[in-house]
A and B are shown apart, each in its own frame.
Chain A
């Protein structure tokens, strides 16, 4: 079969709406210079081992970066940027690509001057330096950190065109740290101590109230991410890890933990991170991040460029209440669903990777993914959430995302009828 007739065959198959595998391979007419010509990297020596003491990605990957949306906030120092989810695979976010959310810019804390204080309703208020913290028994755990406002711009409808912008206020890394429980035990929590106030050392002096049960359960005082010390923008040298709970509570540059007998109701849990409902009332202390997923490829920033035929759909899913045993995928806007293939490790309150391989016939697609978590919770549609919460709750939008893919493979952020 000649190349021309093959193309006609493919086009004919697409027009006929054949869902069957089109299979086969493209045929080369002329020899490929990528094979027949000697490339410089095969002829000349490359850089030596002394060229890059701390390596960076390939020069061809410079587009894989965090991006911000200037109109979202008044100032870049109290703002957010976005993880390029559409360029990543697996479940681990590279440290340099982990989204940032600061309220007073990046604090550059000198580790020699780092101190952590525990005070309040404890037997002995204590001060630790970094070396003290590193002498406690450590744990390694992989957890997602999702900003409570992730997808918040999408409450009123499709707004930003790309999963980096609609879903990229999230990262998933391995944390190394000390269980917060051990530090509290060292100070000795008094019986009346039922709440903690975690406070940061940055210019916003970030504070959040955390119930004691969570602190004693699975919180970590972490100093490493993906094996190396925390990045400055992620709280160097020490941050709080609050698995499954909204990112705001993961206080960075952690300098103090106070034990008290009631919550503090500080700015970040009254003015912010409270969820307004249509009746004018607001939920407070909405800590858990519910089960959520998004298809990262294809997506608006990652169109299908290879034409019809065999393709890989991929995405990520996570839940603040457990693991993700199952993700469903639809190609037709929710009329029919198939179970995606989960791949890679499944950790509690961690990102999970899913794939769905299929033969694309070249017709338009309406792609959605629907996460199921280990509690039996199923990711709702945006309309199901709006039915309960209205459109002005800002935070905790875990509604199902739709991408419309056209015949050219270009994807767009859309909403569809329910």
Chain B
């Protein structure tokens, strides 16, 4: 251990770091060499992903939708997908590689992750069907929503507004109930413990 420490732990070996350090950054740091094309990705997607995410990334049942939804972010029902919302391609590669398929994580080879990522880009109409995603072509892909995120600005937009003197007496002329949870009736029954046992 380094000077001045407690002398605890031991140096990590290169093989150990390589085994665990799998994260990818937007600038491509961490990306392994490799490549995959859209149609290879389609085959893999149909076999490994479509049962939850749908053949075209539309999402089966309540499972996440991966494609389309462009133009919905300002609507009452925003559809946040890789194409409509995700700012960075690196996140797709990283997440598919580290956590998918759900229940069989880290089972895909690097080339398979490239291919599936290429197919997801194609489903989102971000690349053409002859696209080959590789460690070299990675930087060419532009994500449509990349510019739509900004740093937490509550310190400017909310904290001063919400740090004012409060009203204690005669604050409202008339108070009306405007919405009731009971009308929706979607709360699990509290008395039935069987489902939670």
Contact = CB atoms under 8 A, between A and B. Distances in A.
B47 interface: no
Contact of B164 (A185, A336, A378, A415): A378
A124 B2 contact: yes
Contacts of A372: 166
B102 A124 contact: no
Interface string B123-136: 00000000000000
Contacts of A392: 76, 78
A401 to B, nearest CB: 11
Contacts of B86: 270-271
Given A267-B95, A281-B149, A388-B157, A370 B166 contact: yes
A334 interface: yes
Interface residues of B, number: 84
B163 A377 contact: yes
Contacts of A199: 20, 23
Contacts, number: 266
Nearest to B14: A125
A161 B80 contact: no
Interface residues of A, number: 103
B151 A182 contact: no
A188 to B, nearest CB: 4
Interface of B: 1-2, 4-6, 8-12, 16-17, 20-27, 52, 61-64, 73-74, 76, 78, 80, 82, 85-88, 90-91, 94-95, 98-99, 102-103, 105-106, 148-154, 157-159, 161-164, 166-172, 174-182, 184, 186-188, 190-191, 193, 195-196
A265 interface: yes
Given A158-B180, A159-B181, A281-B149, A265 B90 contact: yes
Contacts of A287: 152
Interface string A44-87: 00000000000000000011011111110111011000000000
A69 B188 contact: yes
A384 B23 contact: no
Interface in A333-361: 333-338
Given A73-B62, A126-B10, A376-B163, A412 B182 contact: yes
Contacts of B11: 124-127
Contacts of B154: 283, 286, 288, 290
Contacts of B16: 117, 127
